[in-house]
Amino acid sequence: MVGKTMLDAINEQIKHEMESAYIYLSMAAYFHSLNLDGMAHWMRAQAHEETIHAMKFFDHLTNRGASVTLLDLKQLKTTWKNPLEPWKDAYAHEKFITGKIHGLLKIARKENDYTAEPLLAWFVNEQIEEENNTDKVCRQLEMIGDSKEGLFMLDRELGTRIFTAGSPFDPAAYNLVQ
């Protein structure tokens, strides 16, 4: 049984993860418009990963007999001034999500929800990677400055991201890839 406070907080987190997917998809569209298809590819893979994050919480509630309530998604930014800006926004967004995960863990500890803790511990670790990935690209872009050559090289590298998880809506597929 999931307590009311935890239930509301997880439903809220499903919304945040789906908003993350939407934000990254919006960034993918922006990078496609600049013909930076490597960055767009990275963002599309990230949108996929965020949908899996949402579904991990969705399945957690469903498997515990609690009901999922899908909340309205927030209106998003759809354009940026230069290729660095979306990466900065992505890093800021990941720090925001880390705060939300820590908040969920606080609720779990306060309410003695030991069942939620392993899932939240997975997300605490995942957020280290999420912040690091986006921050690293920000720092690389800052190093590159106005060099078009550097930008195209980084774009090519980001285009090699491999994301082998199956459909975000099939737990049997996505559970194989952590």
Using CB under 6 A as the binding rule, whether residue 97 contacts ligand OFO is answered as yes
Please calculate the CA angle 134-56-74 and round it to the nearest 5 degrees.
Answer: 60
Closest approach of Cβ 124 to ligand OFO, in Å? 11
Asked if residue 94 binds ligand OFO (CB under 6 A), the reply is: yes
Residues 89 and 43: beta-carbon distance below 8 Å: no
Closest CA relative to residue 105, chosen from 3, 6, 2, 4 = 6
- The residue among 108 and 127 lying less far from ligand OFO, judged by its C-beta, is 127
**Closer CB to ligand OFO, residue 96 or residue 143?**
96
Contacts to ligand OFO from residues 34-93, by CB under 6 A: 50, 53
27 — phi, psi (to 5°)?
Answer: -70, -35
- Give me the least distance between CB of 53 and ligand OFO, in Å please: 4
Cα→Cα distances 38→29, 108, 152, Å: 12, 39, 9
**Within 10 Å of residue 83's Cβ, how many Cβ atoms?**
19
130 in contact with ligand OFO (CB under 6 A): yes
- Between residues 43 and 151, which has the closer beta carbon with respect to ligand OFO? 43
Per rule CB under 6 A, is residue 17 in the interface with ligand OFO?
A: yes
Residues that bind ligand OFO (CB under 6 A): 17, 20, 50, 53, 94, 97, 130
